[in-house]
Each structure stands twice: as C-alpha cells, then as structure tokens.
Structure 1
Amino acid sequence: MEIAIIGTGNVGGALATNWAKKGHKIYLGVQNISNFKGKELLNNENTRVFSIKEAVAKSEVVLIATPPTAIFEIIEQMGNVEGKVILDATNAVVNKPEPYPTVYHCLADKTNAEIVKCFNSTGFENMSNPIYNGVAIDMYMAGDSEKAKSIASQLAKDAGFGSCIDFGKSDKVELLEKFALSWINLAIMQGKGRNIAFKLLKR
C-alpha cells in the first residue's frame, strides 16, 4: 500500500518503520521537508518525504498521529481525501479538538474519507515491537467504515500485531480512547512501566 504518515514522532515513526519493512511505500507528510522530526525515518527502505498535501495525494491510506488539536490545520492541508482511508491514531484524553470529542468525530464531520480509530491504544514501544515472549499482542479499532477497518486490520498484522479486535462502530470510539487511557494509567500512573500490553484470550 501507499501510506501517508502525518505525525512523524514516536507512534508514526514506529509504524512507518514496520510498514516499510513489509514493503509498503511510506510518504512522510510534514510541514517543512528540510527540517522535521523523525528525519532518521528516511533511512528506512521505501520511505520518502513530502508536504502533507503531496503525501496525501500520493497515498491510499493516511495515518494521523499528531496532537488532537492539530487536526483542523491538517484537514486544510490534506486537500481532497474522498475515498481515502484515514487511520486516526490520536487520543483526546487531555486536549480535545473542540467542539468535537475526538479527532475521529472531527474527520467524520469535515471530510468524506473512510475513517477508523486505530493504533491509539498502546505505547509506541509496543508499536515498534508487539511481541511478548513469542506472542503477538492485539491492536484495537472502532468506526463505521468496514473498508477502513479491513485495511486497519491488515496493517496491524503487517506491523506485527496478532490481530486487530473490533471495538464496535463510531459510538465506541470514545470508549476505545478510554481503553488507551487504561493502558496509560497502568503503565505510567500505576508505575507498571511502558513494556506492558493487552491480549484478548478466548476459551
């Protein structure tokens, strides 16, 4: 796939690296192509840098991994996203993109893209390496677009996750962000450390 990465920090960088290793074409979408966070990502195979508008235009899939309040400016810069899949990896647990509760809801209102909340529920260390003692941990997703969910599920597996669990439709997006807050609570506030993860087990 051709994937635009908007937000080249820890989460975006980890996913860009793992997807590039699987043969996906990665287009980093940045404000300033000569000076941006994550320049080392250009050392990855299949990775190039463009303006946000150019990266999105070239791509089938767009990952947004930025602070939630940046979404309004990002929407203006992305241009036409009709038919494209947008993976919302943000969490509005501190600052919300007012008046919307989440970036997902903002994107659903202001674009005609296929949107899914995904890659938001764990730390970047688990994005880089989702394997624990030989077992691949799970990723989680929510949203109304079955097309977006199908692609998110495939990309989760390509990033090394065991499966991508469906949390439900758009009414479960905020619940999925609270699930992310549960990981943050355990990892940071309760001092368990960032090398912890969730796995759904079945009998």
Structure 2
Amino acid sequence: MKIAIIGTGNVGGVLATQWAKAGHKIFLGVRDTTDFKGKDLLKNENTSVHNIQEAVNLSEIILVASPPQFAEHLAASFEDVEGKVIIDATNSIRTKPENYPTSFHAFEALTNADVVKCFNSTGFENMENPDYGDLRLDMFMAGKSDNAKSVAVQLSMDAGFENCYDFGNSDKVELLENFALSWINLAIFQKMGRGIGFKVVFR
C-alpha cells in the first residue's frame, strides 16, 4: 500500500517504521520538509518526505497522528480524497476539533474519503512491539466504512497485532477514545507503566 503519515511523532513514527518493514510505501507528510520531527524515519526503506498535500496525493491510505485541533484544517487541505482511506489515530482528550467531538467526525463530515478510527487505543511502545511473549496484543477500530475497516485490519496485522476487533459504527468512535483513556489511566495515572496492553480472551 501507499501510505501518507501525517504526524511524525511517536505514533506516526512507529507505524511508519512498522509498515515500511512490511513492504509498504511510506510518504511522510510534513509542513517543512527541511525541518521536521522524525528525520531518522528517512532511514527506513521505501520512506520519503513531502509536503502534506503531495504526500496525500501520492497515497492510497492517510494515517493522521497529529493533534486533534488541526483536524478541520487538515481536512480542508486534503482537498479531493475520494477513493482513499483516512485512519484517525488521534484522541480528543485534552484538545479536540473546534466544531466536532473527535477528529474522526471532522474527517467524516469534511472529506469524501472512507474514514476509520484505529491505532489510538494503546501506547506507541505497544505499536512498536505488541509481542508479550506468550501472546500478542489486539487492536481495535470503529467507523461505518467496511472498506476502511478492511484496511485497518490488514495494517494492524502488518504492525504485529494478533487481531483488530470492530468496536462498531461511527457512534462507537467516542467509546473507543474512552477505551484509550482507560489505557492511559492504568498506565500513567495508576502508575502501572506503559508496558501494559489489551487482549480479548475467549472461554
């Protein structure tokens, strides 16, 4: 797949690396191609840097891992993204888009792409290595587009997760963000540490 990464911090950087290792073509979309966070990502195979619009134009998939308050501006800058998939990996915990409850809702309302919420429910360390020895962690997604969900499942597998479970339609996106807040609560506020993750088990 051809994947634009918007937001080259911890989450975007780790997923760019994982997906490059899996053989995907990675286009880092940044505001300033000469000075941006994550320059070391260019050492990854099949990875190049572009301005945001160019990265979007070159891609089939757009991962957004930038602060939620930029979602409406990004949606406008993407222009025509029909036939593309936007993966919203953000969480509107401290900040959110001005006119929408989450970035997902902004992208769903303001673009003609297929949108899915995914890669938001755990720390970047678990995206870098979801293998806990005798099990691998699970990923979770939400949204109404079956096409976008199929992409999220594949990219979850390519990042090393065992499963990607469906939280439901677009009305479950905020629930999935609260699920992420549960991980943050346990890992940070309850001081369990960032080396914890979620796994669905069946009896």
Would you call these one fold, judging by a TM-score over 0.5? yes
Q: Is the 8 A contact 2:13 2:38 kept in 1?
A: yes
| Unaligned runs of at least 5 residues, structure 1 | none
Structure 2: gaps spanning 5 or more residues: none
Count of residues in correspondence between the two structures: 203
Match of 1:22 in 2: 22
Other structure's SS at 2:56 match: helix
Query: 2:91 & 2:74 partners in 1: Cα distance?
Result: 16
Q: SS at the partner of 1:87?
A: strand
- Name the structure 2 match of 1:12: 12
Q: Equivalents in 2 of 1:98, 1:74: separation in Å?
A: 13
**1:95 offset after TM fit, Å?**
1.0
Amino acid at match of 1:107: F
Deviating 4+ runs (over 6 angstroms): none
Which residue of 1 is the match for residue 131 of structure 2? 131
* Paired-residue identity, %: 62
Residues 31-40 or 68-77, more deviating: 68-77
Is residue 2:91 matched to residue 1:94?
A: no
Task: Tell me what 2:158 maps to.
Answer: 158
Superposed CA deviations along residues 13-56 of structure 1, whole A, max 9, x for unmatched, are 00000000000000000000010000000000010001100001
Q: Tell me the equivalent position of 1:74.
A: 74
Q: Using the alignment, how far apart are the partners of 2:104 and 2:75 within structure 1?
A: 12
Partner-residue secondary structure (3-state), 2:27: strand
Scaled by the length of structure 1, the TM-score of the pair is 0.98
Equivalent residue letter for 1:123:
G
Please say if 1:110 is aligned against 2:110. Answer: yes
How far apart, CA to CA, are the structure 2 residues paired with 1:76 and 1:134? 45
The CA distance in 2 between the partners of 1:98 and 1:134, in whole Å, is 43
Q: Which residue of 2 aligns with 1:120?
A: 120
1:59 matched residue in structure 2: 59
Q: How far apart, in 1, do the equivalents of 2:29 and 2:134 lie?
A: 34
